[in-house]
């Protein structure tokens, strides 16, 4: 009985692990950590109004940059950070979820071909969520020295947790990440 309970607990723990895949693109001209390792956030005109979402994005970016050794200094930062994020939900357009069809059926005049709307009888596809972050670090002359982005596109939604993982993925390997596209996988316990 004890072995069965342990097995059930173990299998239950496995089912609660979530895999988060992030598609990352990074490009860097930095050969080493910038000296001094400081940055300041540079907001675009559309980013001037404070909002809870903007505050969360800046906080998570600051945490992730701190984990790679960069410190925020809005007065004298050596590099300028341009930061953007995106989140949305959508239903995929999958052909097997079409609302129209053709088939055979039995009616008042017997068997025969028919077509029509049958979508009310079918389940809808799952809602997909897309999250994306982009960071561009520029030197004092305004030249980009580090550009990175990370994207998540799946059925699971947890804004803060997903954005946190996206920033960690985007900064993976900073300041000299593998150039170009790659996929980074995270395992999390909900």
Q: What is the mean pLDDT of the chain?
A: 83
**CATH for 76:** 3.30.160
Structure tokens at 188: 């999390």
Residue 48 sits at the vertex; the CA angle it makes with 45 and 54, to the nearest 5 degrees, is: 120
Counting Cβ atoms within 10 Å, is residue 157 exposed (0-12), middle (13-18) or buried (19+)? middle
Has residue 109 been placed in a domain?
yes
Give the pTM: 0.77
Domains held by the chain: number: 1
Has residue 3 been placed in a domain?
no
The band of 85, judged by pLDDT with boundaries at 50, 70 and 90, is very high
Has residue 28 been placed in a domain?
yes
Q: Which domain holds residue 180?
A: 24-188
162 vs 95, residue with greater confidence:
162
Q: Maximum Cα–Cα distance for the chain, whole Å? A: 84
| Neighbour order of strands in the sheet with 38-41 | 71-72, 38-41, 79-90, 128-138, 144-154, 18-28, 180-188
Has residue 19 been placed in a domain?
no
Q: What are phi and psi of 101, to 5 degrees?
A: -155, 175
Has residue 11 been placed in a domain?
no
**E strand or H helix at 65, and its extent?**
helix 52-67
d(CA 118, CA 105): 13
Has residue 154 been placed in a domain?
yes
91 vs 132, residue with greater confidence:
132
Check residue 3 and give its pLDDT. 52
Under 8 Å between Cβ of 126 and 153: no
Has residue 62 been placed in a domain?
yes
Reported as a single tens digit per residue, the pLDDT across 32-52 is 999 999 999 999 898 888 888
Has residue 157 been placed in a domain?
yes
- Out of 25-29, 106-110, 166-170, which region has the weakest mean confidence (pLDDT)? 106-110
């Amino acid at each position: 009985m004890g072995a069965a309970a342990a097995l059930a607990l173990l299998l239950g723990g496995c089912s609660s692990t979530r895999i988060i895949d992030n598609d990352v693109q990074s490009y860097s001209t930095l050969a080493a950590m910038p000296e001094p390792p400081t940055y300041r956030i540079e907001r675009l005109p559309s980013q001037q109004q404070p909002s809870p979402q903007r505050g969360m994005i800046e906080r998570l970016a600051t945490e992730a940059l701190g984990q790679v050794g960069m410190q925020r200094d809005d007065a004298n930062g050596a590099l300028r950070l341009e930061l953007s994020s995106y989140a949305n939900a959508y239903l995929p357009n999958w052909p097997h979820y079409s609302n129209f069809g053709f088939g055979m059926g039995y009616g008042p005049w017997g068997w025969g071909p028919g077509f029509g709307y049958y979508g009310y009888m079918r389940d809808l596809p799952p809602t997909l969520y897309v999250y994306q972050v982009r960071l561009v670090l520029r030197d004092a002359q305004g030249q980009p020295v580090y550009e990175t982005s990370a994207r998540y596109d799946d059925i699971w939604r947890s804004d803060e947790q997903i954005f946190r993982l996206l920033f960690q993925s985007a900064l993976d390997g900073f300041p000299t990440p593998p150039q170009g596209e790659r996929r980074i996988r995270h395992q999390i316990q909900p």
